[in-house]
């Protein structure tokens, strides 16, 4: 007898685990193996966009770089616009910058000043939720332009790193949770 696999479990099984990358003791969750299968790619987009279909999303703001891959498809599925959030100096027009803390130091991300209109309902997307600093900075950028963050969604969450704690007050959706390294 063949057992049925849930759509989320099928996605989890499609992710390759790469031990000791980028350094010893880390298990890297390689989602490129999921993306290469059109069934899994379609399923991931449907599962991530589904909870937000009736939310009136005007824009999907996606964090560089892997967030762009599913983010564009999620925006398409929701009939919404796509907004890139990039590292400092990568956007060609006038930007707004938000700094956030790293383990050792600071970093920043930017959004075009005209990317979000006041009152826009925005879904923030990235491929992975780790410590939550980048996602929180992205939410702050959207809000500083007058947008409303309706939700924040991720394909993968590393819950043992506590990233949801950085996103209190936001509707956070993740499909696949790795609760221990």
Residues carrying an active site annotation: 66, 103
Radius of gyration of the chain (CA): 16
d(CA 16, CA 62): 23
d(CA 172, CA 42): 21
> Are the C-beta atoms of residues 121 and 146 closer than 8 Å to each other?
no
d(CA 155, CA 46): 11
d(CA 36, CA 121): 31
Extended strands (E) in 130-181: 148-157, 172-177
Residues 6 or more apart from 68 whose CB is under 8 A from it? 62, 84
DSSP state of 88: T
**Neighbour count for residue 3 (Cβ, 10 Å):** 4
């Amino acid at each position: 007898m063949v057992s049925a696999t849930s759509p989320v479990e099928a996605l989890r099984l499609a992710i390759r685990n790469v031990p000791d990358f980028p350094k010893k003791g880390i298990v890297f969750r390689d989602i490129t193996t999921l993306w290469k299968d059109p069934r899994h790619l379609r399923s991931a987009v449907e599962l991530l966009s589904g909870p937000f279909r009736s939310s009136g999303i005007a824009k999907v703001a996606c964090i560089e770089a892997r967030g762009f891959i599913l983010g564009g498809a999620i925006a398409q599925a929701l009939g919404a616009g796509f907004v890139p959030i990039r590292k400092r100096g990568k956007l060609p027009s006038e930007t707004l910058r938000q700094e956030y803390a790293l383990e050792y130091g600071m970093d920043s991300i930017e959004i075009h000043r005209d990317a979000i209109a006041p009152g826009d309902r925005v879904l923030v997307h990235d491929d992975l939720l780790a410590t939550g600093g980048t996602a929180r900075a992205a939410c702050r950028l959207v809000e500083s332009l007058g947008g409303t963050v309706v939700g924040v969604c991720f394909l993968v969450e590393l819950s043992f790193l506590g990233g949801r704690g950085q996103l209190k007050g936001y509707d956070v959706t993740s499909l696949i949770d790795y609760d221990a390294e």
